[in-house]
């Protein structure tokens, strides 16, 4: 379409705030004239508004930096197509009058549009391939940890459509109701359990149907762990024999106890946020996605975010947001991009020569993670996954999954687990178990060497708080990650309890038919000092970094975003992902991150918040005992 500019509007022309709209007499095509403070920007087909005569061009204020006639613009620019970004892309484009550009540093989660060709992502049992490879993974490492024998710990984070929901173990855990009530007390007004539970339900489509706690109509398919494996049954029964309750839904009324896990697996395939939220809406004309593009900085006009600069295929590009820029890069990438853009601790930014846009010392602070270790027991019967990890059996498992999406490849084998309290006077569980009928060595890089089973165990609410900072102004340099693991006495004591309580469960009668020698920590590790030394040598990240852009009250000097997810002191800029958690929740983080994005989408769209007051939650009959 040609663009005609005229100084005099012909008959029939319309005027809109300094813009003259008319048709050429010869062709009947629309043309625009703008006042000197405006200029024209082409509109892609995907951005057209229903019934609008502005078919291929839109007019914007020229006050934003570096705009030209070829610079694209959208209502919202979302940075990061992970657990939160895919949700936002879906929910914000439900309004046909809003347009969204979703930027992702990694590739799509399908190769040539095929689940089977992308089996390393979509086969649940193949999860360790991508955890141990940097193709879809940022592959971060922490600083050497002073309290962990100076080990630098490995942090896999997703760099692909779906983000870490395309890499994780697919365990669906929400955390405890008190985690969200604590958020409210910590300054995140309106983020208590009664305001969060409805968004967990909104997201979820549980195979067991909906009730007061479960959703049944959302896009996120959730299945209940189902297996007849005798070791999973033995673990749950051993917990009962040790005095812990059975819970029929650790995401419902009663988190405390042992039972069957919920999983984001649907019909034998991983159900990431790309599967649930993004790919089903790619045909929407108001949604555009870009992949393999690394955001390098947020563009500001004074204190107002107006766009994002990014690199793609070696080229530097810019895109502008009419309404807001939304960061959904996760607990590492979102604070990193803020700091690269001049938002963070002013002293740190000045040292790197980055112009300060807003002094917010909380950016990158408050870093929290879950640490865990494996208690492993040799199995006297050949029923573990040991043989399944042999090449011949792996081929058979893979062929069955590629054919009909069933068999050993259709599960992550973490069907059972649970939550318990470490000591008396703890109001809700602070230790989590994931049981696996196999042995994991070095993040799964090394195949199991013997018939063995294990429990992943770790404290849920660590008091060791860390930080992250930029290594340099180069966006491609990984930031400096300092979680300060095991830096407090209570964290060391809780890990000691994790080992002792796991051993107690493994010693119950239910495991008598299967129990061989202890593999790890090993019979030589008995005293508190020996257990502590084992923990420092063997504990590792559970891959749950969070809380680095803390949500809180504007009066909190370490808060980064308010309860509305807006970055404090700046306009038109939000953060929506696991980084805004005020404190880490008691469980895996994928489900809470999806909930955060669902709730934030309603906030952004100006919708009244969903609320469900008075939801009953299990309370222990006494706090005078540990169980």
CA angle 235-241-244, nearest 5°? 80
What are the b/e assignments for 421-445, b being 16+ CB within 10 Å?
bbeeebebbbbbbbbbbbbbeeeee
Report the distance separating Cα 556 and Cα 37, nearest Å: 40
131: Cβ contacts below 8 Å, ≥ 6 apart:
137, 156, 167, 443, 444
3-state secondary structure at position 8 = coil
162: left (phi over 0), alpha (psi -120 to 50) or beta: left
Strands, E assignment, 261-303: 262-263, 265-266, 269-270, 287-290, 293-301
d(CA 391, CA 396): 9
Q: Evaluate whether 541 touches 371 at the Cβ level (below 8 Å).
A: yes
Find out whether 239 and 506 touch, Cβ atoms under 8 Å.
Answer: no
**Secondary structure of 148-193 in HEC code, one letter for each residue:** CCCECCEECCECCCCHHHHCCCCEECCCCHHHHHHHHHCCCCCCCH
Query: What are the distances in angstroms from CA 482 to CA 145, 277, 337, 502, 558?
Result: 8, 33, 18, 28, 17
**510 annotated as belonging to a binding site for a ligand:** no
Phi then psi dihedrals of residue 586, to 5 deg: -90, 75
Rounded to a whole number of angstroms, the CA Rg of the chain reads: 26
**Coil/strand/helix, residue 360:** coil
359 is catalytic: no
Q: Assess whether the previous peptide bond of 617 is cis (omega < 30° from 0).
A: no
3-state SS assignment for residue 321: strand
* Per-residue H/E/C for 388-453: HHCHHHHHHHHHHHHHHCCHHHHCCCCCEEEEECCCCCCCCCCEEEEEECCCCEHHHCECCCCCEE
The Cα 441–Cα 552 span in angstroms is 39
Length of the chain: 627
2 is in an annotated binding site: no
Determine whether the annotation assigns residue 168 to a binding site. yes
Q: How far apart are CA 57 and CA 245, in angstroms?
A: 63
* CA 176 – CA 196 distance, rounded (Å): 11
CA distance 203 to 174: 12
Quickly count: other Cβ atoms within 10 Å of residue 33's Cβ. Answer: 20
- Structure tokens, 233: 């049954």
Close Cβ partners of 457 (under 8 Å, ≥ 6 residues apart): 372, 373, 374, 375, 431, 432, 433, 434, 498, 499, 501, 502
Name beta bridge partners: 216.
205
Is residue 525 a known part of a binding site? no
Q: Specify the 3-state DSSP secondary structure of 511.
A: helix
Is 395 annotated in some ligand binding site? no
Please identify every residue annotated as catalytic.
544
- Give the annotated binding-site residues: 160, 168-171
Task: List binding-site positions for FAD.
Answer: 160, 168-171
């Amino acid at each position: 379409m040609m663009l005609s500019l005229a100084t005099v509007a012909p008959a029939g022309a319309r005027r809109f705030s300094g813009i003259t709209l008319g048709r050429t007499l010869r062709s009947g095509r629309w043309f625009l004239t703008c006042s000197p403070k405006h200029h024209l920007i082409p509109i892609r087909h995907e951005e057209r508004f229903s019934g609008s005569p502005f078919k291929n061009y839109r007019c914007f204020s020229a006050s934003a930096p570096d705009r030209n006639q070829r610079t694209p613009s959208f209502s919202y620019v979302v940075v990061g197509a992970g657990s939160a970004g895919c949700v936002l892309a879906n929910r914000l484009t439900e309004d046909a009058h809003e347009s969204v550009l979703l930027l992702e540093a990694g590739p799509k989660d399908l190769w040539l549009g095929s689940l089977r060709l992308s089996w390393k992502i979509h086969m649940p049992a193949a999860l360790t391939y991508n955890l141990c490879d940097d193709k879809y993974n940022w592959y971060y490492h922490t600083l050497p940890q002073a309290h962990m024998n100076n080990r630098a710990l490995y942090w896999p984070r997703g760099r692909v459509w779906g983000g870490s929901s395309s890499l994780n173990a697919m365990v669906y855990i929400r955390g405890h109701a008190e985690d969200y009530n604590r958020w409210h007390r910590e300054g995140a007004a309106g983020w208590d359990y009664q305001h969060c539970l409805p968004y967990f339900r909104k997201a979820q489509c549980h195979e067991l149907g909906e009730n007061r706690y479960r959703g049944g109509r959302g896009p996120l398919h959730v299945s209940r762990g189902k297996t007849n494996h005798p070791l999973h049954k033995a673990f749950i029964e051993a917990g009962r024999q040790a005095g812990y309750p059975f819970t029929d839904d650790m995401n419902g009324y009663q988190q405390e106890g042992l039972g069957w896990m919920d999983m984001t697996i649907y019909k034998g395939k991983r159900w990431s946020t790309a599967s649930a939220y993004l790919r089903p809406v790619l045909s929407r004309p108001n949604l555009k996605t870009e992949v393999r593009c690394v955001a390098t900085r947020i563009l500001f006009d004074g204190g107002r975010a107006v766009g994002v600069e990014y690199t793609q295929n070696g080229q530097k590009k810019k895109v502008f947001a009419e309404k807001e820029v939304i960061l959904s890069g996760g607990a590492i990438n979102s604070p990193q991009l803020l700091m690269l853009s001049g938002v963070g601790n002013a002293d740190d930014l000045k040292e790197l020569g980055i112009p300060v846009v807003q002094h917010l010392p909380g950016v990158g602070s408050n870093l929290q993670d879950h640490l865990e270790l494996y208690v492993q027991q040799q199995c006297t019967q050949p029923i573990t996954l040991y043989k399944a990890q042999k090449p011949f059996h792996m081929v058979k498992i893979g062929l069955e999954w590629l054919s009909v999406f069933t068999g050993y490849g259709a599960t992550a084998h973490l069907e059972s687990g649970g939550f318990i309290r470490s000591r008396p006077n703890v109001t809700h569980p602070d230790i989590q178990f994931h049981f696996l009928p196999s042995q994991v060595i070095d993040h799964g890089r090394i195949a199991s060497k013997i018939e063995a089973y294990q429990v992943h165990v770790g404290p849920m609410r660590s008091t060791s708080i860390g930080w992250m900072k930029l290594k340099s102004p180069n966006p491609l340099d990984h930031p400096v990650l300092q979680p300060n693991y095991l830096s407090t006495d209570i964290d060391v004591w809780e890990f000691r309890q994790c080992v002792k309580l796991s051993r107690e469960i493994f010693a119950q009668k239910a495991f008598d038919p299967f129990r061989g020698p202890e593999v790890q920590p090993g019979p030589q590790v008995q005293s508190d000092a020996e257990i502590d030394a084992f923990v420092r040598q063997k504990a590792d990240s559970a891959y749950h970094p969070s809380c680095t852009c803390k949500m809180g009250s504007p009066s909190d000097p370490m808060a980064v975003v308010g309860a509305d997810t807006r970055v404090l002191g700046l306009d038109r800029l939000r953060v929506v992902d696991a980084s805004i958690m005020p404190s880490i929740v008691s469980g895996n983080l994928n489900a809470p991150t999806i909930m955060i994005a669902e709730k934030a989408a309603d906030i952004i769209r100006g919708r009244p918040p969903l609320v469900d007051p008075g939801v009953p939650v299990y309370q222990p009959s006494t706090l005078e005992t540990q169980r």
